[in-house]
């Protein structure tokens, strides 16, 4: 029998799918009920097959939006059209394997893990040999655990880099090789949201507001606080991305995120989360204890946001505003300076406006897709007009706080000529109005603060505000 007419058995995780169904289903389960994390180790004590069964009983996966390996899928369709029998052979639990098979409408049969057998490695080999005979099938795999199966097959289809191909080549002739080698640094940086670290520059606001930016010791403490907060924030971003996989894959831009697109293994994110958190804790050792407490509060709040608060209408945007404001509180704690009431009030209203703007932008995107509600959020698409009203009002309130501060007795301690700061109110009024107009026209980035950093007009406004503040301070 010709090699190309032999039955073709195809692995799922890492081969046909650019992800891992066990981890996908595990994250879906944890999102539904975080307390299942405590039960998972006890399930694993009874074997991996039992663990997969318990997870399958507690989670659902939308297989239609999973990141499939399109080149391999196209090859399989070609083979199918030529009359070749194709089977799905995976260590994934049979529930999800069958769902994938039903969705793709490609396979003539399914081999998958049962409650008693984890169909991986030699167990999968034995099942395929029993079904087709020694060297009477071709197997498509992607890692070292597939070597025993390749040794029992007539030929190998390899999904992976050159090292994986070499492993397969020692076991069986190569029918096809789909090179999955990709640069890892860029997806890692994107997953860590390094570009979002610019938001942590808010930590330096108390340093500048207190006119202590020329103090080298305090400036160094600010840098350490910035790095600690950035590591902590990246840990949170990873949690958010992995819990939001289903929603991100249906979003027009978030579907390109590394975990959603399958360009970065989920396991990389799961390992990075505690490592980044440990890095943040280590940096806290060189900073005042108050900073560590603020950072702990930030992490606890973001954890609550990731699991619950982001799905509650208005509570989500208030939480986002608090998360931005906490950065300023952390900056004050890092250099041990008193926190200004005026600065807190101004930042709370301003960040509430930007948080609402973020939700408003998401609703506009969903409206263009004719959706009725934002995925994973509590808003209906027709809420966008009300959000615009609330967000614009919050932005103007921040300007009002700024105006009251300029007219307050407290300002004289830092600014000999506070009346020279009045133009900053006009600039802020213009800027708040402009970002909302940009959002209304559908030209706003998903994150308004990142948009502001890249927007030339916003940068000019920030520069002008800084000039008037410097002039008013008499520096």
Question: Residue 228 CB: number of other CB atoms within 10 A?
Answer: 26
Please tell me whether residues 196 and 324 are part of one structural domain.
yes
Please tell me whether residues 65 and 203 are part of one structural domain.
no
**pLDDT band with cut points at 50, 70 and 90 for residue 182:** low
Please tell me whether residues 217 and 291 are part of one structural domain.
yes
Least confident range of 182-186, 236-240, 450-454:
182-186
The residues, ordered by sequence, that sit 6+ positions from 208 with a Cβ below 8 Å of its Cβ are none
For the cut 90, the answer to whether the pLDDT of residue 9 exceeds it is: yes
Percent of the chain with pLDDT over 70: 96
- Compute φ and ψ for 10, nearest 5 degrees: -120, 125
CB 404 within 8 A of CB 425: no
Structural domain boundaries enclosing 143: 3-179
For the cut 90, the answer to whether the pLDDT of residue 44 exceeds it is: yes
For the cut 80, the answer to whether the pLDDT of residue 81 exceeds it is: yes
User: Which pLDDT belongs to residue 376?
Assistant: 57
Please tell me whether residues 167 and 197 are part of one structural domain.
no
**pLDDT band with cut points at 50, 70 and 90 for residue 450:** confident
Please tell me whether residues 174 and 191 are part of one structural domain.
no
User: Which pLDDT belongs to residue 377?
Assistant: 66
Instruction: List, for residues 195-238, the tens digit of each pLDDT value.
Output: 888 888 889 888 887 777 778 888 899 999 999 999 999 999 99
User: Which pLDDT belongs to residue 475?
Assistant: 60
CATH number of the domain that 84 lies in? Answer: 3.40.50.1000
Give the pairing type, strands 8-10 and 109-113: unpaired
Please state whether the predicted TM-score (pTM) of the whole model is above 0.75: yes
The residues, ordered by sequence, that sit 6+ positions from 61 with a Cβ below 8 Å of its Cβ are 21, 24, 25, 28, 96, 99, 246
Question: Residue 272 CB: number of other CB atoms within 10 A?
Answer: 17
Nearest alpha carbon to residue 349 among 293, 385, 396: 396
**Separation of alpha carbons 288 and 293, rounded Å:** 9
**Average model confidence (pLDDT) for the chain?**
89
**pLDDT band with cut points at 50, 70 and 90 for residue 374:** low
CB 126 within 8 A of CB 143: no
**Separation of alpha carbons 121 and 223, rounded Å:** 49
For the cut 70, the answer to whether the pLDDT of residue 375 exceeds it is: no
**Separation of alpha carbons 182 and 262, rounded Å:** 11
Please tell me whether residues 196 and 166 are part of one structural domain.
no
Among the candidates 137, 153, 179, a domain finishes at 179
Among the candidates 152, 179, 206, a domain finishes at 179
Least confident range of 15-24, 294-303, 355-364, 377-386:
377-386
What angle separates helix 21-32 from helix 216-243, to the nearest 10 degrees? 100
**pLDDT band with cut points at 50, 70 and 90 for residue 371:** low
Token pair recorded at residue 32: 């539904």
Please tell me whether residues 88 and 49 are part of one structural domain.
yes
**pLDDT band with cut points at 50, 70 and 90 for residue 2:** low
Percent of the chain with pLDDT over 90: 60
Give the pairing type, strands 155-160 and 138-141: parallel
Please tell me whether residues 24 and 126 are part of one structural domain.
yes
Among the candidates 122, 149, 179, a domain finishes at 179
Please tell me whether residues 168 and 217 are part of one structural domain.
no
Nearest alpha carbon to residue 340 among 441, 240, 410: 410
Instruction: List, for residues 328-367, the tens digit of each pLDDT value.
Output: 999 989 988 888 888 889 999 999 999 999 889 888 877 7
**Separation of alpha carbons 157 and 301, rounded Å:** 47
Split into its structural domains, the chain has a count of 2
Please tell me whether residues 151 and 199 are part of one structural domain.
no
User: Which pLDDT belongs to residue 205?
Assistant: 86
CB 417 within 8 A of CB 470: no
Please tell me whether residues 150 and 52 are part of one structural domain.
yes
Least confident range of 7-16, 115-124, 368-377, 453-462:
368-377
Please tell me whether residues 273 and 307 are part of one structural domain.
yes
Nearest alpha carbon to residue 461 among 449, 452, 474, 473: 452
């Amino acid at each position: 029998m010709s090699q190309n007419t032999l039955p073709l058995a195809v692995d799922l995780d890492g081969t046909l799918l650019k992800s891992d169904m066990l981890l996908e289903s595990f994250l879906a389960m944890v999102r539904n009920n975080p307390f299942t994390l405590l039960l998972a180790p006890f399930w694993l004590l009874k074997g991996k097959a039992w663990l997969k069964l318990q997870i399958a009983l507690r989670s659902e996966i939308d297989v239609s939006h999973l990141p499939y390996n399109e080149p391999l899928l196209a090859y399989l369709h070609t083979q199918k059209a030529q009359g070749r029998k194709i089977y799905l052979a995976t260590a994934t639990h049979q529930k999800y394997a069958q769902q994938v098979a039903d969705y793709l409408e490609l396979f003539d049969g399914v081999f998958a893990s049962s409650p008693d057998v984890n169909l991986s490695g030699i167990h999968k080999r034995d099942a395929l040999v029993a079904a087709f005979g020694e060297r009477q099938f071709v197997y498509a795999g992607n890692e070292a655990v597939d070597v025993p199966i390749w040794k029992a097959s007539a030929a190998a289809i390899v999904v992976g880099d050159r090292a994986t191909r070499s492993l397969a080549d020692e076991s069986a002739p190569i029918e096809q090789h789909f090179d999955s080698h990709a640069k890892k640094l860029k997806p890692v940086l994107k997953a860590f949201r390094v570009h979002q670290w610019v938001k942590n520059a808010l930590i330096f606001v108390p340093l500048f507001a207190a006119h202590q930016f020329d103090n080298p010791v305090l400036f160094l403490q600010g840098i350490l606080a910035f790095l600690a907060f950035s590591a902590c924030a990246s840990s949170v971003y990873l949690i958010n991305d992995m819990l939001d996989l289903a929603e991100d894959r249906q979003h027009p831009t978030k579907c390109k995120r590394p975990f959603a697109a399958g360009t970065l293994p989920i396991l990389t994110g799961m390992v990075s989360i505690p490592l980044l958190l440990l890095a943040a804790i280590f940096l806290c050792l060189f900073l005042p204890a108050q900073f560590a407490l603020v950072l702990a509060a930030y992490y606890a709040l973001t954890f609550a946001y990731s699991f619950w608060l982001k799905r509650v209408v208005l509570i989500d945007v208030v939480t986002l505003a608090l998360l931005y404001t906490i950065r300023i509180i952390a900056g004050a704690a890092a250099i041990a300076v008193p926190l200004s009431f005026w600065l807190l009030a101004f930042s709370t209203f301003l960040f509430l406006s930007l948080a609402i703007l973020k939700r408003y932008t998401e609703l506009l995107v969903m409206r263009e897709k004719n959706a009725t509600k934002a995925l994973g959020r509590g808003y209906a698409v027709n809420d966008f007009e009300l959000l615009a009203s609330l967000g614009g009002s919050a932005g103007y309130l921040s300007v009002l706080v700024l105006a009251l501060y300029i007219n307050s007795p407290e300002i004289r301690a830092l600014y000999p000529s506070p009346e020279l700061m009045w133009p900053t109110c006009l600039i802020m009024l213009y800027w708040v109005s402009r970002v909302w107009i940009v959002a209304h026209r559908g030209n706003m980035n998903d994150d308004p603060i990142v948009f502001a950093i890249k927007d030339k007009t916003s940068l000019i406004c920030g520069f002008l505000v800084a000039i008037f503040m410097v002039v008013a301070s008499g520096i």
